[in-house]
Structure 1
Amino acid sequence: MGLPEKLIYEIKRKNVILFVGAGVSNNLGLPLFDNLIRQIGEKLGYDPDEFESYGRYRELAEYYEIENNGINDLVKWMDEEWHRNSISLKDSKVHKLIFDLDFPIIYTTNYDRWLEKTYDSYGREYRKIVKVEDLVSLGNESTQIIKFHGDFSEENSIVLTESSYFERLDFETPLDIKLRSDILGKTILFIGYSLNDVNLRYLIFKLNKLWENSKHLDRRLSPYIFLAKPNPVQQKIFQKRGIEVVVSKQEREEDGLLQFLSELLEKSSEKQN
């Protein structure tokens, strides 16, 4: 797999912001959103297959919220399922590689706490940022893990329903303001996102808008995205938007991400002559 030399250079400089999507959590065998929607249907007394046909998962989650005056018990169920005792970090070499690459800032659209558990397990300090209070007295002494779509520990932070997602699209929260500051002069790397992931398309669109409206367009460094399988249509669109694409040649998606991160670690750890 050919790695961009510029990306390796920026990782060596600790100048890369990592964006982590659901594909990273899938390495631990976490339930997919299909399971969540089926659970919602069962809780509401529907046949799961029939319920899935009634809308997309954000719409169905909002229907659940309306019917139950909230999503507290749903979030509790998700938290329990996503953090079962049977799940072991040792089963995810990807999480260990993320830790070893030592990114100074990590944004994630995942709700689970396995990134944080990785840092706890290997004994490195970090700052988890979910709400505005977490932004107080931020320093550069430890890794920042920003839960961009919320965290199970804060029910009101979870971006799950259609309404909460539309509110997130405003891109005017304190976390968004922090992101505007973070991206100046830094490289962004997306991993764990599928080509059809609306989170990815939304983030890329918004990041482009941030740069277009910025007075510092000349300081923009090329974002990178790792794709677990080729798609010439989406690759061309990403490239048109100024994003450099790295595509896996592995048959299994999980093998591709593992190889990509392993090679990044190896190359970025090499001493310069």
Structure 2
Amino acid sequence: MNMELLNAHQAGKLMLFAGAGVSANLGLPTWSELTAQMALELGFDPKIFSTYGSPLALAEYYKKKKGNLGPLRSWMDREWHKPSTDVTTSEVHRLITLGKFSRIYTTNYDRWLEIAHDKFGVPYDKIASVADLVSVTEGRRQIVKLHGDFADDESLVLDETSYFQRLNFDTPLGIKLRNDVLGNSVLFIGYSLSDINIRLLFYRLTEMWGRAVLSSARPKSYLFMSRPNPVAQEVLRHWGIEMIVSEEDDPKQALTNFLRELVS
């Protein structure tokens, strides 16, 4: 385990970025299942519809045709939060709640991080909109829903336009993120480097660090991956993000082992 990473965590100066891989531990629907649902609601064959663009572009088309994301959001809420799902069985979620993360940012829409904090008795403030920013408690963990929350359709960053707007970092949540990353190390977990949107997020964050007055003194950032990727490792290193690779073949077990070592 990287000592700088351990020290940042122990000092409460490590910010967690949780992606879809974290939710995948609970068997939640994938992007392909989401786009298939869009296709069915729009009258397309799911396999053909998936070839028409990226998931963000398909969601943009859906929103234009339907007028809003309401029906899709309702389906997502039902499918993502089935009564049979038990978050206490997810060791990944338990370890995240026990960690000393100063902030938890997530690009996931589901509420399982919040539910896990409730189940394991860890107080937190959820931030998904401007209204949430005014009611935070000093010193309490913040769970920042960077791509929105099912409780508010308007907050959802699901289509291409809203995603690109969020990456401008000029909304209140974007400004908060910009301030937070300048004072904390960042650990990314649950992200796939085959997703161009995630690489764009990394690049934009790196741009922000580079524009900072004291860019040479920026805290280190880390990305945990379950498989080695020398190409991505070199690109990310150039961007100031260190890749941490597991020797465990199973992605779920790899993430569990890594968090266990970090948190304990």
Instruction: State TM-score, norm by structure 1.
Output: 0.93
Distance 1:106 1:42 in 2: 34
Note if 1:17 corresponds to 2:28: no
Distance 1:182 1:49 in 2: 41
The C-alpha deviation readout for 1:26-54, integer Å capped at 9, x for no partner, is 00000001001111111111111111122
**Structure 2 letter corresponding to 1:49:** K
Q: Which moved more, 1:199-208 or 1:61-70?
A: 199-208
Distance 1:32 1:230 in 2: 23
Segments of 5+ residues of structure 2 without an aligned counterpart are none
Q: Which moved more, 1:236-245 or 1:29-38?
A: 236-245
Q: Which residue of 1 aligns with 2:224?
A: 226
2:166–2:174: 8 Å Cα contact kept in structure 1? no
Q: Which residue of 2 aligns with 1:51?
A: 49
Note if 1:170 corresponds to 2:202: no
1:136 aligned to which of 118, 134, 137: 134
Q: Which moved more, 1:213-222 or 1:148-157?
A: 213-222
Q: Which residue of 1 aligns with 2:109?
A: 111
Q: Which residue of 2 aligns with 1:208?
A: 206
How far has the Cα of 1:123 moved from its partner?
A: 1.7
Instruction: State TM-score, norm by structure 2.
Output: 0.96
Secondary structure of the residue aligned to 1:128 is strand
Q: Which residue of 1 aligns with 2:146?
A: 148
Segments of 5+ residues of structure 1 without an aligned counterpart are 267-273
The C-alpha deviation readout for 1:195-242, integer Å capped at 9, x for no partner, is 112343122212211122111324311101101111111111111111
Note if 1:249 corresponds to 2:234: no
Distance 1:104 1:117 in 2: 18
Q: Which residue of 2 aligns with 1:65?
A: 63
Distance change (3 Å), C-alpha of 1:165 and 1:184? closer
2:88–2:119: 8 Å Cα contact kept in structure 1? no
CA RMSD of aligned residues (A): 1.3
Secondary structure of the residue aligned to 1:184 is helix
The C-alpha deviation readout for 1:142-188, integer Å capped at 9, x for no partner, is 11000001111110111111121122222211111111221233111
Q: Which residue of 1 aligns with 2:26?
A: 28
Q: Which moved more, 1:64-73 or 1:106-115?
A: 64-73
Distance 1:263 1:237 in 2: 26
Q: Which residue of 2 aligns with 1:101?
A: 99
* Same amino acid, percent of matched pairs: 45
